[in-house]
Amino acid sequence: MTGQAAASRPLRSRRTGALAGRVRVPGDKSISHRAFLFGGLASGRTRVTGLLEGEDVLATGRAMRQMGARIEREGETWIVDGVGNGALLEPEGVLDFGNAGTGARLAMGLVGVYDFTATFIGDASLSRRPMGRVLEPLREMGVQVLARSKDRLPLSIRGPRVAAPIEYRVPMASAQVKSAVLLAGLNTPGTTTLIEPIPTRDHTERMLQGFGARLEVETDRAGGRTIRLQGQGELTGVADFVVPGDPSSAAFLVVAALVVPGSDVVIENALMNPTRTGLIETLREMGGAIEAVNPRLSGGEEVADLHVKHSALRGVAVPPERAPSMIDEYPVLAVAAAFAEGDTLMQGLEELRVKESDRLAAVAAGLAANGVAHEEGEDWLRVSGRPDGSGIGGGTVETHLDHRIAMSFLVMGLASEKPVAVDDARMIATSFPDFEALVARLGGALDAAAR
């Protein structure tokens, strides 16, 4: 048995009956990363509550500590004392981001334009993921990159004496690329301009404005955005920053409630930012009973409690332009589609090829292992469902160290005729440490599977 196999933690889910109850999902992962990054860069103190304390986010916090920020946990609150814009310190050791692709890519933008060298490393999964689309605009700003394998970790970056502001048109729908360029612009003289033809999640723009950055956003008739950031301005800590619940985490419980017969679940404090609600829109089109109740603002973001009941789903065609608003949710949407009447077609999925795994291939393989009819294309997936779950399940899914693959197929097992196993559940802690406990609280059954 290899070391990897010996250390793995196989997990199995099985059908036990209706799910019921009220739960609160952890803080949004994207916003939690940015809370450490922006709070660590700002002058003064930022108090953060609701932070996702998963391994990915904590890796970002450790990196900011290495560059001078003071970050401490006091009860349920994280206290972040920042260094001030332009005052990051050269890290003495390597910056180890583990599995945190968001943290690594955003930090490359943040530190890339500083006149020092920073070395980025990660785990086996992160080391396979391409960084070139973030590094390309940084190179235009004068950043030098040294990598053992082309634009993959481990790599070192060194900024110029004075970075050059750029006007950059993002060639793909990527909030990470957009954010990396804007973060680089914070320590660059003049105006950094970013053109985003297809709008993506806008947490970076909202939060930068909340921390005092001089940033303007123009939206054209087609929905595209032009963002202008004035560099080398002051950022100020936020006295009370509240992180809303992560919609990508809520997605697993939403789908579980929809597909397990008799279920009636309330998921509290879910982020309802319009750039993040593509899955909810799609599931409603499929016939899902999802009601957003008690809408309110939290940390400058729209949130609500989601009341979800078991529903008879039907297949739909998901338009490719919706992909940016639900890119992380396609694996669990494929699970929902497995229990829908007819075919569900998902398009515009090329981004899934460069996630923690080749997520599109991993989803297709998991469907095949559990008897779900499907077709996979280069950037699309068609799933043929069975509403009663008959003939579904019985397989073991290779997760490829991808937390969303693991959680998605564990959701499948809660409604399928036969149990579903995943080969390793350890990486779930990177984004949703309480996943197993919350599923159990709602009445779902998860237990150890044979290696």
**Active site residues per annotation:** 328
Which residue in this structure is represented by tokens 């009956």? 17
| Beta pairing, strands 420-422 & 11-14 | antiparallel
**Distance between CA atoms of residues 250 and 271, nearest Å:** 9
| Cα Rg of the chain, angstroms | 21
Query: In 3-state terms, what secondary structure has residue 176?
Result: helix
Of 166, 101, 162, the closest CA to residue 136 belongs to 166
**What is the maximum span of the chain, computed from C-alpha positions, in angstroms?**
64
Strands 301-309, 289-298: pairing kind: antiparallel
Strand-pairing partners, residue 120, are 95, 155
Strand ranges, E, within 122-263: 144-149, 152-158, 167-169, 191-196, 215-219, 225-230, 241-242
Structure tokens at 450: 């044979």
DSSP string covering 4-68: HHHH---EEEE--S--EEEEEPPBPHHHHHHHHHHHHHSEEEEEEES---SHHHHHHHHHHHHTT
DSSP E strand boundaries for 316-432? 317-318, 343-347, 374-376, 380-384, 396-397, 420-422
d(CA 182, CA 231): 9
Q: Which residues pair with 317 in a beta bridge?
A: 345
